[in-house]
Amino acid sequence: MAEPVLEVEGLVKHYPLTRGVLFRKQIGSVKAVDGVDFTLGRGETLGIVGESGCGKSTVAKLLCHLERPTAGAIRYRGEDITKLSGKALKAVRRNIQMVFQDPYTSLNPRMTVGDIVGEPYEIHPEAAPKGDRRRRVRELLDVVGLDPEYVNRYPHQFSGGQRQRIGIARGLALRPEIIVADEPVSALDVSVQAQVINLMDRLQAEFELSYVFIAHDLSIVRHISDRVAVMYLGRIVETGTDTEIYDHPTHPYTQALLSAVPVPDPDARERRERIILSGDVPSPADIPSGCRFRTRCFKARERCALEVPALAVPAEFRYATGPAVHDSACLFAEELRVVPAEEHGNGPG
């Protein structure tokens, strides 16, 4: 594995649930992120997928220091950034930038594109001398495939895909090492999604970037990810290389998600196993005992309510080799090829 740039250990974010106006009393907590571990290698893309509300955006905000964790460590090049403040924190924050989901609301409609892309230099003036910023902004627009002459236009004069390019140019302004992209293409048309993903691919090679790429759609993540982490109710339940996760999933939740990925070929669709998840996602304020997926799992047994499965290579695979051997938080993990080989929706691009 590549040299790690980010190591996340035991990351937790609980939001207090309170009642009462005068005497606010904590009656519980929303366990948005509830013990997440992963490593991001240099130049690598880690895809994080999971249903709405599983804690993806909260992880993104914690990584970019927009939120403080309840517990856990985020080590950037070996240093725990959750412990930093002041100048030291500011220096680190430069290197970890975020690209947001919605290019319609994440850009200030009253600012010109030039001011939006150049805004990071106001916060980090040391990054570029004042006299050089305009030139750099034009260069950034060019890099993301926009005409530098557009520098004085406003966001409403651009299409959704162009606006996301502006968001990416802003993310690149400080020459970060890591970009955390929270559903960067989810709000875009499928044809435009492919263009933006291809752009991100190119920029990754050009600027030696490491990506955390968040999506709720497994097919989008596959195209860009080296490794994938599947989240459920605040935790990662399965993680591995793209081949391990897409072709050899061992966790019932991943298998269910994969069985819902659109398959363009009608024959393959026929042969594909469909797994319907029962019930709704439980509230993150009231997480089931034992395995948190058990209330919706098609394989759940009594033991699942009593034991919390660890995210590790399952015991039955310990002496095995091959792509089924990867971390999976299930007590009864077994390989299930949900989508016929080579025929799953590879998403855009």
Ligand X SMILES: Nc1ncnc2c1ncn2[C@@H]1O[C@H](COP(=O)(O)OP(=O)(O)OP(=O)(O)O)[C@@H](O)[C@H]1O
Q: Which residues bind ligand X (CB under 6 A)?
A: 15, 30, 32, 50, 52-58, 216, 284
Tell me the closest approach of the beta carbon of residue 225 to Mg ion, in angstroms: 17
Tell me the closest approach of the beta carbon of residue 299 to ligand SF4, in angstroms: 4
Tell me the closest approach of the beta carbon of residue 32 to ligand X, in angstroms: 3
Q: Beta 210-215 vs 45-49: how paired, if at all?
A: parallel
- Which of Mg ion, ligand X, ligand SF4, none sits in contact with 52, Cβ below 5 to 8 A by type? ligand X
The set of residues, in sequence order, having a beta carbon less than 8 Å from that of 342 and lying 6+ positions away, is none
Residue 61 or 294 having the CB closest to ligand SF4: 294
Vertex 332 angle, CA 326 and 336, to 5°: 65
Cα distance between residue 92 and residue 6, in whole Å: 12
Q: What's the CA dihedral at 16, 40, 198, 193 to 10 degrees?
A: -20
- Which of Mg ion, ligand X, ligand SF4, none sits in contact with 96, Cβ below 5 to 8 A by type? none
Q: Which stretch binds ligand SF4 (CB under 6 A): 71-79, 138-146, 170-178, 329-337?
A: 329-337
Cα distance between residue 194 and residue 219, in whole Å: 12
Residue 61 or 272 having the CB closest to ligand X: 61
Q: For ligand SF4, which residue of 199, 300, 338, 339 counts as binding (CB under 6 A)? A: 300
- DSSP codes joined into one string, 164-200: HHHHHHHHHTT--SEEEEESTTTTS-HHHHHHHHHHH
Q: Which stretch binds ligand SF4 (CB under 6 A): 166-174, 184-192, 196-204, 299-307?
A: 299-307
Cα distance between residue 292 and residue 54, in whole Å: 12
Cα distance between residue 85 and residue 68, in whole Å: 11
Token pair of 21, please?
A: 């106006």
Cα distance between residue 116 and residue 45, in whole Å: 26
Site for Mg ion in 49-68 (CB under 5 A): 56-57
Residue 34 or 177 having the CB closest to ligand X: 34
Tell me the closest approach of the beta carbon of residue 111 to ligand SF4, in angstroms: 47
Token pair of 318, please?
A: 């310990």
- Which of Mg ion, ligand X, ligand SF4, none sits in contact with 294, Cβ below 5 to 8 A by type? ligand SF4
DSSP type of residue 291? S
Tell me the closest approach of the beta carbon of residue 328 to ligand SF4, in angstroms: 8
The residues with which 29 forms a beta bridge, in sequence order, are 16
Residue 199: phi and psi, rounded to 5, are -60, -45
Number of residues that bind ligand SF4 (CB under 6 A): 12
Token pair of 330, please?
A: 């299930």
> Are 188 and 141 spatial neighbours (Cβ–Cβ below 8 Å)?
no
Q: For ligand SF4, which residue of 172, 218, 263, 304 counts as binding (CB under 6 A)? A: 304
Tell me the closest approach of the beta carbon of residue 290 to ligand SF4, in angstroms: 7
- Which of ligand X, ligand SF4, Mg ion, none sits in contact with 15, Cβ below 5 to 8 A by type? ligand X
Tell me the closest approach of the beta carbon of residue 216 to ligand X, in angstroms: 5
Q: Around 250, how many Cα atoms within 13 Å sit in the side-chain half-sphere? A: 26
Q: Tell me if 106 contacts Mg ion by CB under 5 A.
A: no
Q: Tell me if 309 contacts ligand SF4 by CB under 6 A.
A: yes
Tell me the closest approach of the beta carbon of residue 284 to ligand X, in angstroms: 5
Q: Tell me if 236 contacts ligand SF4 by CB under 6 A.
A: no
Q: Which residues lie near Mg ion (CB under 5 A)?
A: 56-57
Q: Which residues lie near ligand SF4 (CB under 6 A)?
A: 252, 291, 293-294, 297, 299-300, 304, 309, 330-332
